């Protein structure tokens, strides 16, 4: 694989996110090419498909008997399926920025959907550009603040707001204040009440997903005939299957009478943090029925299948253009969705359905077909994996700052060479006014709720997390060891202070969501 040359004296021009600003885009591209090495001829194209809020188990390739995902199933059959993959924070923006940076959220100040990671964060988009790749992002990545590229050369299709309108990205906004009771409730309860079939024209936010996928298809077709010899690294970021739970009518009807009922739909026996989250989601009154939850899941299944259709279009374009043979396809989601389990809807919980994600790697002729990897891994592992696939590298002072580990040893069947030793996930957002996190090591999962009782689960015997073992004397040594590991790098009190400081700053340093007034 190609060696990456070191940039000498290069300075980054001011980023521009407006595709019409061709002079700026060209200047950035010229800058990258002047600093980059040339990718080796055999360097593969890379297509990263990142959905939003896809429950890890609601898909055929992970064993669900109802949800139809034939295209993802086909991808898994010809690739490697990671069955114990996790996000590093169960919320859109912290998860995505952590993945791009290869660093845990608390190390880049990504507490919630109102934050922005430092503008000089070196992402894997930067690293791929420097390794000789053409890099493009279509659709959602939930960037906040004034930095809109974070290493991508182009954004052919921008993000969308809930009205389906194109805009540059979210701005730094005022977040909820942990010093006060939660000032608002999420839409969790409303999602239960309003779930069902969508109108024929679809909600605007779902119509925008069509634009995103069409933009990706255009990029792939253009690459197949482009004189630019660089390999392409393209990210397709959709909103689907994120709520609102309004499925396309034909798909909603397809799942009529077929939706299953999850465990503990009225949230009995939960700890303080999850009880608080249920109140935030308007679920604590339990004024919904089993049929309401089935209807919500019926719609959610339809959203997942609609997303799978888009995956089929992307895979079809790779085959039609002749790019499939030398393209690494990676599928993952930014987090999961409780979908009624334990009386919760949405994300933000430390539980498996919220924090665990689907993840597939495929590279025809290079990666094994039909392999299943059960080792716990997470989204921060994508960065070092992409570096190794591309032949790129970082200066040692930066490479040592990554929190993930290359997945290639696991993909290639060399499990003993994998350097990872457990998964860390944290959350500092809404629903509970204190930080919390978990560490998974083997089958054991230690949940650290700052200011509240901790939890311990053995996922081998209790995959639905119904038996908290924290007070079990037989598990005391495991609990002490896992807690000690967490506290060696994560200080709940210090993190809480940092979150409170950020919230105070952002009430003053507010910027608009749309930067068009600045010519961006």
Task: Find the CATH number of the domain harbouring 329.
Answer: 3.40.720.10
Q: ∠ at Cα 24 (22, 27), nearest 5°?
A: 105
Are the beta carbons of 85 and 356 closer than 8 angstroms?
yes
Residue 36: pLDDT band with limits 50, 70, 90: low
How far, CA to CA in Å, does 113 sit from each of 60, 170, 335, 497?
A: 30, 9, 13, 18
Structural domains counted in the chain: 1
Q: Is residue 520 part of a domain?
A: no
Are the beta carbons of 173 and 505 closer than 8 angstroms?
no
What DSSP string runs through 10-26? --PPPP---TT-HHHHH
Beta-bridge partner residues of 426 = 437
pLDDT higher than threshold 70 for residue 169? no
Q: Which of 422, 407, 403, 401 is nearest to 363 (CA)?
A: 407
Q: Is residue 439 part of a domain?
A: no
pLDDT higher than threshold 80 for residue 497? yes
Q: How far apart are CA 13 and CA 5, in angstroms?
A: 20
Q: Is residue 16 part of a domain?
A: no
Average pLDDT, the chain: 89
Tens of pLDDT, residue by residue over 449-473, are: 999 999 999 999 999 999 999 999 9
Q: Tokens standing for 7?
A: 């940039």
pLDDT of residue 489: 97
How far, CA to CA in Å, does 127 sit from each of 160, 391, 463?
A: 26, 10, 37
Q: How far apart are CA 99 and CA 113, in angstroms?
A: 15
Q: Is residue 115 part of a domain?
A: yes
pLDDT of residue 37: 65
Residue 513: pLDDT band with limits 50, 70, 90: low
Q: How far apart are CA 18 and CA 148, in angstroms?
A: 9
Q: Maximum CA pair distance of the chain?
A: 66
Torsion of CA 301, 305, 311, 315, to 10 degrees: 140
Region of 274 please: left (phi>0), alpha (psi -120 to 50) or beta: alpha
Residue 41: pLDDT band with limits 50, 70, 90: low
- Tell me the angle at which helices 382-390 and 92-101 cross, rounded to the nearest 10 degrees: 40
pLDDT of residue 518: 46
pLDDT of residue 10: 28
Residue 147: pLDDT band with limits 50, 70, 90: confident
Residue 14: pLDDT band with limits 50, 70, 90: very low
Q: With helix as H, strand as E and coil as C, how does 433-485 read? A: CCCEEEEEECCEEEEEECCCCCEEEECCCCCCCCCCCCCCHHHHHHHHHHHHH
Q: Is pLDDT larger for residue 165 or for residue 452?
A: 452
Q: Is residue 418 part of a domain?
A: yes
Name the DSSP class of 415: G
Q: Which of 88, 2, 94, 101 is nearest to 43 (CA)?
A: 2
Q: Tokens standing for 63?
A: 């064993």
Torsion of CA 371, 375, 379, 385, to 10 degrees: -60
Q: How far apart are CA 32 and CA 125, in angstroms?
A: 11
Tens of pLDDT, residue by residue over 235-283, are: 999 999 999 999 999 999 999 999 999 999 999 999 999 999 999 988 9
Question: Do the strands 423-427 and 436-441 form a parallel or antiparallel pair, or are they unpaired?
Answer: antiparallel
Q: What is the mean pLDDT of residues 63-89?
A: 98
pLDDT higher than threshold 80 for residue 24? no
Are the beta carbons of 201 and 120 closer than 8 angstroms?
no
- The reported pTM is 0.91
Beta-bridge partner residues of 154 = 136
What is the domain extent for residue 220?
22-423
pLDDT of residue 184: 66
Beta-bridge partner residues of 439 = 424, 446
pLDDT of residue 28: 44
Q: Is residue 502 part of a domain?
A: no
Number of Cβ atoms within 10 Å of the Cβ of 345: 27
């Amino acid at each position: 694989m190609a060696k990456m040359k070191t940039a000498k004296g290069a300075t980054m021009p001011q980023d521009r996110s407006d595709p019409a600003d061709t002079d700026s885009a060209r200047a950035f591209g010229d800058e990258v090419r002047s600093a980059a090495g040339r990718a080796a001829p055999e360097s593969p194209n890379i297509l990263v498909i990142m959905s939003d809020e896809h429950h890890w188990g609601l898909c055929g390739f992970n064993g669900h008997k109802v949800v139809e995902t034939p295209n993802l199933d086909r991808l898994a059959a010809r690739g490697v399926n990671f069955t114990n993959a996790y996000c590093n924070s169960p919320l859109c923006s912290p998860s995505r920025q952590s993945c791009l940076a290869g660093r845990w959220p608390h190390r880049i100040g990504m507490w919630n959907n109102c934050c922005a990671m430092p503008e000089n964060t070196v992402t894997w988009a930067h690293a791929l550009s420097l390794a000789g790749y053409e890099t493009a992002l279509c659709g959602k990545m939930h960037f906040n603040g004034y930095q809109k590229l974070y290493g991508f050369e182009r954004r052919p299709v921008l993000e969308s707001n809930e009205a389906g309108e194109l805009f540059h990205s979210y701005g730094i906004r005022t977040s909820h204040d942990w010093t006060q009771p939660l000032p608002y409730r999420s839409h969790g309860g409303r999602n239960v009440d309003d779930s069902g079939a969508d109108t024929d024209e679809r909600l605007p936010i779902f119509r925008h997903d069509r634009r995103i996928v069409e933009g990706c298809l255009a990029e792939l077709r253009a690459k197949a005939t482009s004189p630019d010899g660089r390999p392409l690294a393209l990210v397709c970021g959709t909103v689907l299957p994120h709520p609102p739970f309004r499925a396309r009518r034909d798909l909603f009807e397809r799942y009529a009478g077929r939706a299953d009922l999850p465990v503990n739909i009225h949230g009995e026996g939960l700890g303080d943090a999850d009880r608080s989250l249920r109140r935030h989601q308007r679920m604590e009154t339990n004024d919904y029925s089993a049929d309401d939850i089935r209807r919500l899941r019926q719609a959610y299944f339809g959203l997942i299948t609609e997303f799978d259709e888009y995956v089929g279009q992307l895979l079809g374009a790779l085959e039609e253009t002749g790019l499939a043979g030398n393209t690494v396809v990676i599928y993952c989601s930014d987090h999961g969705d409780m979908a009624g389990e334990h009386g919760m809807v949405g994300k933000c919980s430390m539980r498996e359905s919220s924090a665990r994600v689907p993840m597939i790697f495929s590279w025809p002729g290079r990666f094994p077909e039909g392999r299943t990897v059960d080792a716990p891994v997470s989204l921060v592992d994508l960065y070092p994996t992409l570096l190794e696939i591309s032949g790129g590298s970082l200066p040692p002072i930066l490479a040592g700052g990554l929190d993930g580990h290359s997945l290639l040893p696991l993909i290639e069947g060399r499990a003993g060479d994998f350097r990872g030793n457990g998964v860390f996930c944290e959350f500092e957002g809404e629903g509970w006014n204190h930080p919390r996190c978990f560490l998974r090591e083997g089958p054991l999962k230690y949940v650290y709720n700052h200011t509240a009782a901790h939890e311990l689960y053995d996922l081998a015997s209790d995959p639905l997390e119904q038996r908290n073992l924290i007070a079990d004397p037989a598990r005391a040594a495991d609990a002490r060891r896992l807690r000690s590991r967490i506290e060696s790098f994560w200080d709940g009190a210090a993190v809480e202070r940092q979150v409170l400081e950020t919230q105070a700053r952002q009430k003053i340093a507010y910027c608009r969501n749309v930067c068009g007034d600045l010519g961006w």
